[in-house]
Structure 1
Amino acid sequence: MAASCIYDVFLSFSGIDTRKKFTAHLLAALDRHGFYTFRDDTKLKRGEEIGPGLLKAIEQSKVSIIIFSENYAASRWCLDELVTIMDCKRTLNQIVIPIFYDVQPSEVRSPMGCYAKAFANHEKQFEETVKIWRCESTFIEIVVGVVAKKLNPTWLSVADYPVGIEYRVEKLNYFLHLDSMDSNSDVRIVAIWGIGGIGKTTIAKALYNDIHKKFESSSFLANVGQTSMQPNGLVELQEKLLCDILLMDGNQRIRSQDCGIEIIITTRDLSSISSLEVDEVYIPEELNNEESLRLFSWHAFKRYRPLQDYEILSEKVVSYAKGLPLVLEILGASLLNRTIAEWKSELKKLRKIPHTDVQRKLSLSVNSLDDEQKGLFLDIACFFVGMDKDFPIKILEGCGFFPESGIGVLSRRGLVSIDVLNRLTMHDLIQDMAREIVR
């Protein structure tokens, strides 16, 4: 890559097709994520050649995004941009990302020889990216993610298909009140709480990607609970945090976990953060039916909606998942490229036996319970869901349990809820997991 790059991204597009629609939205997303983008907004008349300044901007960009649309090939300057971009790819190792907007790749290939030659070479190297995308908001986030992975080593990988993420990040961002904070003194702590598979880590990563450039330094610690249980794990986490926020070279060492305890916070459930001055607790909503179907379709069909003969079966899977992104992703990936007969067989199996990967992920919330709490959880799942809370408490107290305290623990971990009618409730998939443990 040439050392003279001054732009992160160059956008090549047909203004008549996309300027006020897709391109404007994509540019806004790139700007929001902090990428310096060159957009060709010159008003060239038909037949007029593009100037050397525009060609220079292509050479000075790290990434070129080409938006192939209906009239792209009809534009002389678009094709001139394309030739320059492909030359930069070959000579400067420039990163090139193609997007096909409302056209089939076969339509783009046929009109012009130089266009077909450039595209054929392009498609071989970007087979996964060369698709027709019609769901703009999801795809724009995917494109931004691809650009970020290429250019920004601090970018966290969020999700292959970030359906519904932007809305939830906006809500979480609102809790932070970054616009009104005094940068010299204000500190806010926001907790994300919910059952396993709801997308807590995904939302946190997406928020981190959005805001970390606003701070002098930042850190994202993943798998804190699991790492802290390892020998010297808490010290390792503290050292990573210190290296990140103090911009150290990694050679500094903490002698014991007590030395760095004021810096790091670890939590597993609501009770463990009760002693902290948490400003907000955000409980992510489950995906609605439309979001669920879209996320499932991306994983099961690699497109934004189901194939024609799979609509009803897809609706059944979405109904089973009850809005949990983790379940939709796992089941979608497991059904990719499988026949209708196989789909029907898998759905019958799911009614009797939960999917192994789903079971394993959801059971993480249960594994940290003590024996009495686990027994109480299984009893509620098998016998007491839907009942007034006071009734099973009397029964379980008569059996020598301590249900009042235990139900509080389960509630704080998102395994059991109490509705407005004082009834014990439980997410369907959590209940299925508990019954499978018993089985």
Structure 2
Amino acid sequence: MKLFGLNKKAKETTFQITEPDRNWVEDNFKWLIQVFGYPTRQSEQIIITDKFFPKTFSTSNLQVQNVIEDLCNLLDLDAGKITFVMHQDLRDVYGIPFEIQGKPFETETEITENNYKIHIAKSISNRSNRLIFSLIYECIKIRLTENKLQFDTGNDTSLFLFIAGIYFGFGIPLAQNLTDNGQVDDGFWETKWTYVSEMPIEVMAFGLAIHSKLIGQDNPEWKNQLPQAHKVQFERAITFLNNSFSEVFNTNELDANDLFNQADKAYQNGDFESAISNLKQVLLLTEDELLKSDVYNNIGYYQLRNGEYEKSIANFRKALQIDPNYGFAHDNLGYVLIQIGQIEEGKQQLEKALQTDNNDNAYTFRNLALYFLAKNEIEKAESNFQLAFQSETVPVDLLELHYANFLINQGKSDLGMKYLEKAVKKGEPEAMKRMNEIKSK
């Protein structure tokens, strides 16, 4: 990256950015959008408060594990795959001066068999902002690694991680930590530290402005959390973008994302027809292939829940044409095929789902239970139902309902009714219908 603004002789009142720098930021945003999709208008930059870090703020002393769990929740990571270890060095020995050539070690992530170990220098454990910043930085790397992205490709890697951080919503804490200095004096020994990031303020501000324009916010409240110099440059960058053309922004994509979220809300309220209608409008607006695959999968799923199995199969296949490695689409297609009696092809789809990194094992085990039930292999069905419950990290649709029907058909009506009641409490229309059928007999 070419750094800019180093030889200014007069105080600038407008935003200054070189063409290579602008292209670099915009190209990286376009790449992130291509991989992860457009952010929604409901997106926001994350601030280090109990709103975003409830576990972190639940204790008076900063606990690394709590920070990691909050970050995993914010970045949709599996906290069970991440561990950490603290390291001591000369910086932790009282009264011993030392000098380090180059950048001192603070944090580093080791990848071991699809798990991650974050190595942390004990010297930053008493500097909470710096520690949280470093963990954010490492968790962003893990998020990119989980998606199998080749981001560690050259001298711009660390700079790109700041842009990725802005995209994922961590622009505020990253901007707040572009510089860090301080000292502690206990009356006998004085400890000083200083850190200056290679990311220029102007480039950081331009990245934040790009994200704000992507979500349709020219004057976000969070800008007041920025250091003053960043805030000034951010406001200038917004003005600059308002007065110049950018290929990054696409109003249709923002509208499409809004409709996608509206569809999800309609689905949560049990209004499958409205959900499907909104998603069909998304297809008329978006050119985002990643979003299209999600749309086809969701249309198929809402049709599935509406009992329109044949229609849903066509949409799951469309989703898989776009993304053959889409675990949820394989799972959903397998479920429907089992429901209509094509159980062996259904099982093949479930096996493909398990081979991906983007399925939910609890869903897959629920569906495998239905496959074995269709084959009248009762013990295997029971075993997979239990695996589904054990693997459940978020509520699994129809799991209690299917297990309730399984138990009732096995003559275990009392236990089956307890699971059916749980399904009704989840608000599932199918469970309510089943309960009414039983009560009417």
Q: TM-score higher than 0.5 here?
A: no
Q: Which category of TM-score, normalised to the shorter sequence, fits these structures?
A: under 0.3
Question: Between Structure 1 and Structure 2, which shows a larger proportion of helix residues?
Answer: 2
